[in-house]
Amino acid sequence: MINTLILQAPAETTRYLIAGYTVIFGIMLLYVVSLVVRSRNLKREIENLKQLDEEKK
Amino acid sequence: MNPKPRLLAILDVITILLFLTAVGMVFFYAPLEAVMGQVQRVFYFHVANAWVGMLGFMVAAIAGIAFLRKGDRKWDIVGLSAIEISFVFFFTAIVSGSIWARGSWGTWWTWDPRLTTAAICELVYAAYFLLRQGIDDPDRRARFGAVYAILSFISVPLTFISIRIFRTIHPVIIGSGAAGAEGSFEMAPKMLQTFMFSLFTFSIIFVDLLWHRIRLGKLAEETENLRLKTLQ
């Protein structure tokens, strides 16, 4: 009876579920953060370049 | 740089809501699979990530054709943006698939036709960035990028059909799989609903991210032009 119950139970794979979704959520978050950071840096660079251009004039 | 369009702001909110719903469905709505257990839940977002990968590579190939026909640099930005997003999502699909394989097959990696073609596909697109890095002239870079995006797209259908034409242990979700496939399962209605909803959600995530990435590409182009103007 106990053997039958053990055989019928799903495999214990919770740690792989956690690992899988940590990777999925982690990479997605990193990518979104990278978009925000790159956008902010480019905006800052544009401001600096515009300022340099005006100083040249 | 233009302010964020209202439509994009609305799309951001819709995307977040869809994503949270999909996460809820994966963890609380879809039933536990009888053999593999919890690790089977990785499958929903694993496939959705792979789908976004293939979708973006296709968009990049179409953008490549559009660029070669019209010569408009905006298509280069679209192609680059699509490949960048897809590269990230396809990488996630490979890694999450590897974790699923460890829980289901008992190994992190095997040189199965699907895994091999997926790895080749990712490497092919990694070379796209290297190619672009090596070319200074923007027009030349766009032209070479477009041709490369079109040619490299061959690896995408090859990856997709690999599990249908070769002997493989990778399960086929849509259609009939090989006899030796391990980790196949019958999808209960709630599993199918979660699966389809995840695919839909990730398609919207792709559109939303693509829009943001195109805006970033335009910003980069503006910066490059300003830099050239300042240096002159």
Chain A residue nearest residue B93, CA to CA: A24
B74 assigned to some structural domain: yes
B210 assigned to some structural domain: yes
How far apart, in whole angstroms, are the C-alpha atoms of residue B182 and residue A15? 20
Please give the mean pLDDT across all residues of chain B.
92
- Give the domain range for residue B110: 40-227
The pLDDT score that the predictor gives to residue B108 is: 94
CB contact under 8 A, A39 and B215: yes
Q: Is the pLDDT of residue B144 over 80?
A: yes
B197 assigned to some structural domain: yes
Its sign, for the CA torsion B96, B112, B185, B193, is positive
The pLDDT score that the predictor gives to residue B187 is: 83
Under the banding of pLDDT at 50, 70 and 90, the label for residue B163 is confident
The total number of structural domains in chain B stands at: 1
Q: Token pair of A15, please?
A: 């740690």
Residue found under tokens 């990193």: A30
Q: What is the CA radius of gyration of chain B?
A: 20
Q: Please count the helices (runs of H) and the strands (runs of E) in chain A.
A: 2, 0
Q: Is A57 helix (H, G, I), strand (E, B) or coil?
A: coil
Residue B210 contacts by C-beta under 8 Å, 6 or more apart in sequence?
B56, B59, B78, B81, B82, B85
**Chain A interface test: which of B19, B211, B226 (most A C-beta within 10 Å):** B226
pLDDT digits (tens, 9 = 90+) for A6-56: 556 888 889 999 999 999 999 999 999 999 999 999 999 999 998 888 887
Structural contact between residues B97 and B152, judged by C-beta atoms closer than 8 angstroms: no
How far apart, in whole angstroms, are the C-alpha atoms of residue A9 and residue A13? 12
Please give the interface size between A and B, counted as residue pairs whose CB atoms are below 8 Å apart.
99
- B71 DSSP assignment: -
B107 assigned to some structural domain: yes
Chain B contacts to A (CB-CB under 8 A):
1, 32-42, 45-46, 49, 85, 88, 91-92, 95-96, 99-100, 102-104, 209, 212-213, 215-216, 219-220, 222-223, 226-227, 229-230
B77 assigned to some structural domain: yes
pTM of the model: 0.91
Out of B35, B215, B222, closest to residue A11 by CB:
B35
Out of B32, B42, B230, closest to residue A16 by CB:
B42
Structural contact between residues B93 and B57, judged by C-beta atoms closer than 8 angstroms: no
DSSP-assigned states of every residue in B175-228? S---TT--S--PPPHHHHHHHHHHHHHHHHHHHHHHHHHHHHHHHHHHHHHHHH
Q: Which residues are bridge partners to B33 per DSSP?
A: B37
- B63 DSSP assignment: H
Q: Is the pLDDT of residue B76 over 80?
A: yes
The pLDDT score that the predictor gives to residue A4 is: 54
B35 assigned to some structural domain: no
Residue B198 contacts by C-beta under 8 Å, 6 or more apart in sequence?
B22, B25, B26, B44, B45, B47, B48
Tell me how far apart the terminal alpha carbons of chain A are, to the nearest angstrom: 89
CB contact under 8 A, A11 and B37: yes
pLDDT digits (tens, 9 = 90+) for B11-49: 999 999 999 999 999 999 999 998 889 999 999 999 999
Structural contact between residues B64 and B146, judged by C-beta atoms closer than 8 angstroms: yes
- Percentage of residues in chain B with pLDDT exceeding 90? 76
Closest CA of chain A from B100, distance in Å: 7
Q: Token pair of B225, please?
A: 């032009």
B2 assigned to some structural domain: no
The pLDDT score that the predictor gives to residue B231 is: 76
CB contact under 8 A, B227 and A49: yes
The pLDDT score that the predictor gives to residue B13 is: 98
The pLDDT score that the predictor gives to residue A7 is: 57
| Model ipTM value | 0.90
Q: Is the pLDDT of residue B180 over 80?
A: no
B54 assigned to some structural domain: yes
Residue found under tokens 């209605």: B189
Out of B91, B100, B215, closest to residue A20 by CB:
B100
**Contacting residues of B for A49, CB less than 8 Å apart:** 223, 226-227, 229-230
Under the banding of pLDDT at 50, 70 and 90, the label for residue B177 is low
CB contact under 8 A, A13 and B215: no
pLDDT digits (tens, 9 = 90+) for B78-100: 999 999 999 999 999 999 999 99
The pLDDT score that the predictor gives to residue B3 is: 86
Under the banding of pLDDT at 50, 70 and 90, the label for residue B58 is very high
Under the banding of pLDDT at 50, 70 and 90, the label for residue B170 is confident
Under the banding of pLDDT at 50, 70 and 90, the label for residue B179 is low
- Percentage of residues in chain B with pLDDT exceeding 70? 94
The pLDDT score that the predictor gives to residue B14 is: 98
The pLDDT score that the predictor gives to residue B201 is: 98
